[in-house]
Chain A
Amino acid sequence: MKLIQELYAYREMIFSLVRKDLRGRYKGSVLGFLWTFINPLFQLIIYTIAFSFILPSPIEKYYLHLFVALIPWIFFSSSVQGGANSIMAAKNLVSKIYFPREVIPISYVTGCFVNMLLTFIIIFPVVIFSGVGLNLKAVACLPIVMLAEYIMALGLALLFSAVTVFFRDMEHILNIITMAWIYLTPVLYPIDMIADENIQKLFYLNPMTSVIVAYRDVLYYARTPDFSTLVTAFLFGIASLLFGELIFSKLKKSFAEVL
């Protein structure tokens, strides 16, 4: 509770770090902030060409099928990987100035999150033009899915950012984990592709499965996600956040000594 109060007091720091992150990313390039949109747009164009002509997929509109899952996945993986390194990267601040240490991973994950939201400016028109169309009731579920994914990513970012300070290999181990993780999550393929129901259940133990399934329900199938999918995603999110913060709060007091 005290932590929340303090984080609220430092909200401006979170905003300004996020702002700095987003603006600093394309600073100096001619197109600047436009890159935030150009990047996913070209990603989409390339997938469309690749999966229509070079590697045709039996799945209808595979480019969209992939895209609506890949964008949330990239948010998640970059939050966890980059977030793990965030405390180390902010060494100078952490070892010299007091502020609630959580601010650093929160800002990092929020920066990635805002980036994803901006990408949705591309996603929505594409969903409409592709003929899938927007099911407003389903779209109303989107914020819930996003929130669940956000707290899940934040929890893991908290956990790994603290661990990385004491154990520098974590960063590289995480690279390998996320590399494998994308195949354990139905990002590149539909969840129905796993025929055996028991194995499918096993896949649902992966917290990201429910999240990706929910995104795809809304944006590809234009249907409301199952209530149970949403609940699972949310519970995983809360568990991740609580566990992450538990470890983080244990380790944060020694950050300045090790850095």
Chain B
Amino acid sequence: MNPENSIEVRNVKKKFKIFYDRGNDLKDRILFRNRNHYENRWVLNGISFSVRKGEAIGLIGHNGCGKSTTLKLLTKILYPDEGTIEMDGRVSSLIELGAGFHPDMTGRENIYTNASIFGLTKKEIDARIQEIIDFSELEEFIDNPIRTYSSGMYMRLAFSVAINVDANILLIDEILAVGDANFQRKCFDKLREIKSHGTTIVIVSHALEQIEQICETSYWIEDGLIKDHGTPKAVHDHYLKNMEEKRSQQLEKQHHQENQKPQKETLPDFCEASAIRMGTGAVRFTNALLCNAENQKQFIFNTEDKLKIILEYESHQPGLKGNFGYGIFREDGLHCYGTNILIETGECIPIQEHGRLEITVQNALLPAKYFLDIAVHSHDGIIFDDIRQVLSFAVTSDHYDIGVCRLHSEFSWR
């Protein structure tokens, strides 16, 4: 092993036995001996990497890609089927917080139990106990039984113990989501401090920006192999792009399937199956389309795209005036936007026997799935026709900004 490295992983493979019908007891073993079928599932197909002393690395990948298994192999909870793992120094893992906590014991007593599970001796714990209590911000509650704690207090205590175990190698699994924002920041600062003291850190996380802030290298694991590694920003860009592509494909497929479903009789063809229609019927929509700027039907748009809503209607009552409008709701029910012709132009438009209306919209919505609502009302609010969730569409983006919609921002500096 290279003395500059603190972790060396060489061609590690790991399989799990997946039992179709696990027989753990005698009867099953004997009576159904031939039923004891299992399948080997390879979770890791040969990964190798090394971590220098004092380096921090991040492991990313979608669920089930093998990153948590890798971490468990590093902690020696699991052992590889092939390949070797060498580590130099005391390992502490922040995988399970609050291990061995007893609800009837006080916070202080539980610190001793929990820290001892990390392999600390009484002397070492005595030396750290004040620091741990201070870090947890529990103050006078520390001598209360922890069953009286709130879940936030509980996690703060657990995290404080784990992070104050001075280890040479620290393994962290998705746990920086502890407590309120303030405490999270504190944990993060502590992590940096630990790192500056030369501790090697391995983080598994979905919070890519956290990895970018603290790690020098990021490893993207997919299907049990390292797909890419390098500086976190570059790897993450690659990873996100790949994820986005997969998601688009899935959305397209989903959309396709949804449109194949038999629709309710009362709903016309152009509506989504989930649409809800109401109104007097004095004016009826006969078609609704979502198109791109070139008037081609489309369901996936970019945040920067222009999109067109094309509405066709009919009416058998002459002389009506109508107020046409639309609304956009995100999949989780958030009302993102809504407007109508009265708001935009100050007047309603005369209704034709057969009419057509085009609304051109500059999109600014961020990636998500959305629903379109359309309606036509009279000037004083009588609902002629109103179709909720008439169409759905998805938005993708080239940027990683977050929130509801993209606000064009320019940064200048001196």
A residues adjacent to B (C-beta < 8 A): 9-13, 15-17, 20, 23-24, 27-28, 92-99, 166-169, 253-254, 256-257
Contacts and interface: CB of A to CB of B under 8 A. Distances in A.
A94 B75 CA distance: 12
Question: Considering the complex of A and B, which 4 residue pairs feature the smallest CB-CB distances, nearest first?
Answer: A96-B96, A12-B116, A13-B116, A169-B26
B116 A97 contact: no
Contacts of B120: 12
A28 B234 CA distance: 57
Interface in B68-107: 72, 75-79, 91, 93, 95-96, 99-100, 102, 104-105
Contacts of B100: 16-17, 20, 93
Given A95-B77, A97-B96, A257-B78, A16 B112 contact: yes
Contacts of A168: 24-25
Contacts of B121: 9, 11-12
Given A13-B119, A97-B95, A97-B117, A257 B16 contact: yes
Contacts of B214: none
12 contacts: A12-B116, A12-B120, A13-B117, A13-B119, A15-B122, A23-B105, A24-B102, A93-B96, A96-B96, A97-B96, A167-B26, A257-B78
Nearest to A166: B24
Contacts of A96: 77, 95-96, 99
Contacts of A11: 121
Given A10-B119, A97-B99, A20 B24 contact: no
A97 B112 contact: no
Contacts of A93: 96, 99-100, 117
A257 B72 CA distance: 11
A24 B104 contact: yes
Nearest to A12: B116
Nearest to B74: A98
A233 B118 CA distance: 36
Contacts of B122: 12, 15
A13 B122 CA distance: 9
Contact of B116 (A16, A94, A169, A254): A16
Nearest to B115: A12
B113 interface: yes
A17 B77 CA distance: 20
A166 B28 CA distance: 13
A97 B79 contact: no
B226 interface: no
A90 B17 CA distance: 22
Contacts of B76: 98
Nearest to A23: B105
B235 interface: no
B195 to A, nearest CB: 21
Nearest to A93: B99
Contacts of B96: 92-93, 96-97
B215 interface: no
Given A12-B116, A12-B122, A16-B116, A97 B75 contact: yes
Given A92-B99, A97-B99, A98-B75, A9 B119 contact: yes
A166 B22 CA distance: 11
A93 B16 CA distance: 20
A255 to B, nearest CB: 9
Given A13-B119, A20-B105, A96-B96, A167 B75 contact: no
Interface in B30-44: none
A166 B19 CA distance: 13
